[in-house]
Structure 1
Amino acid sequence: MPIDLALVLDLLGCSFFAVSGSLLAVRKGFDLVGSVLLGSLVGLGGGVLRDLILNAGPPAAFSNPIYLAAPLLAAAVVYLLAGRVERVSRLVLPFDAGGLALFCITGTLKALDAGMNPAAAILLGVTTAVGGGILRDVTANRVPHVFDPKDLYAIPALLGAAMAAGLWYLGWLNLVTGSIAAAMVFSLRMLTLRFHWHAPLAARSWAIPRFRRG
């Protein structure tokens, strides 16, 4: 049987993001219901937003029950296996990076398959990748990673979406090349966390005091 690349990567992305949401729920002291809901927000939110923008009928998260398994399983696994809070805090970011890497690929692929031009497809890929994380972080009452001046979040997703679009147009996008592209995005995201890379501020440092006056 032919492999549905978008579905496979989508489900993997949902799972990674859902685990990151459930781990954050543990860190914040939420109950099991809160863990499922937070995992659902981050695991399904970006895909729902993508499908609504594509206007291709009901979002996949509501039309295909298999998507609901990801947050439920994530909450169960975290409930049974999560250790100390300090260890949990270190695990949130790698799982979030995995979801980011996979969703920027699937969002771009679905947009291209729907007939979007490359620029729009890349933009939708980034939106898919960061959308769920924004919902998770706002719900958990913390600044979303995409707005953190000491972090790079959207840029790795942008590069991954661009790679996916390029591979698609060349006819080289398959499970292997898509996974390699996702692995490169994941590695870049982890490197930004390890070496504290960040983008320039919205204004040069010498100009910021002027904006703060008044």
Structure 2
Amino acid sequence: MEQVPDFWQNIKLVDIIEFLGTFAFAISGIRLASAKQFDWFGAIVVGLVTAIGGGTLRDLLLDVTPFWLLSSVYIWCTVIALLFVVTFRKSLVRLNNTFFWFDSIGLGLFVVVGSEKAMTLGYPWWVVIIMGTITGVVGGIIRDILINEIPIIFTQELYAVACILGAGLFCILHYLGVDMIIVQVASAVFVFVIRIIATRYQLKLPVLKGED
């Protein structure tokens, strides 16, 4: 039987990014679940699938063991996110854009994680971009389906496009030989900034219309 590696051994920056992304996405899912008046168990489920959904599909497509099966830290991260929301629920309720901020942060961080994993496994740039995008958006799609909402990837400003552009920047900077830490930070911030600008100025792709 293959020995399960210890998450805390040889921890890298990408592991920290993945943990922070998990925490941010879990909070975004739990925040929406609380708005729908889910109980604690329902909130944990929504938060967990938001945090691990994209990475799970990515790993299955890349034919590797899903990341959360190698360490319980991601489940505990979701539990901590629940306690965070419960503890600071009054402040989070007053901040109407709480979901947006945490979702945007998680989006940027997970695009980096997905892109780097595909690149480390030796896949070409176009696969890296697809895997970065999948890691960023799929968890949110599952979350929205569970809470009976139209997935925000289809309705909000440049959501998936931000992931594609961020993963593209990751590839460009990497192939230019830029230090990996700079590549990771720049790509995550780029996705976050695109989401902020797109939302601020309501930048959207053209709507596909049927017959008038």
User: Same fold, TM exceeding 0.5?
Assistant: yes
Q: Distance in 1 between matches of 2:24 and 2:91?
A: 20
CA contact (8 A) 1:111 1:121 kept: yes
Q: CA deviation at 1:79?
A: 0.9
Q: 1:99 aligns with which of 92, 106, 122?
A: 106
Q: CA deviation at 1:146?
A: 0.9
TM-score normalised by structure 2 residue count: 0.89
CA gap of 1:144–1:127, structure 2 versus 1, over 3 A, is same
What are the Cα deviations for residues 24-80 of structure 1, in whole angstroms up to 9, with x where unaligned?
A: 111111111111111101111111111111102x21111112122221110111011
Q: 2:176 aligns with which of 170, 179, 187?
A: 170
Give the secondary-structure state (helix, strand or coil) at the position aligned to 1:209.
Answer: coil
Aligned twin of 2:129: 122
Number of residue pairs matched?
204
Aligned twin of 1:4: 12
Structure 2: state its 5+ residue gaps: 1-8
Q: 1:33 aligns with which of 41, 46, 51?
A: 41
Does residue 90 (structure 1) correspond to residue 97 (structure 2)? The answer is: yes
Structure 1: state its 5+ residue gaps: none
Question: Counterparts in 2 of 1:53-202, with a 5 A limit?
Answer: 53-56=61-64, 58-83=65-90, 86-87=93-94, 89-148=96-155, 151-202=157-208
Q: Distance in 1 between matches of 2:91 and 2:18?
A: 30
Aligned twin of 1:52: 60
CA contact (8 A) 1:41 1:132 kept: yes
CA contact (8 A) 1:26 1:85 kept: no
Q: Distance in 2 between matches of 1:141 and 1:87?
A: 24
Instruction: State the identity as a percent.
Output: 32
TM-score normalised by structure 1 residue count: 0.88
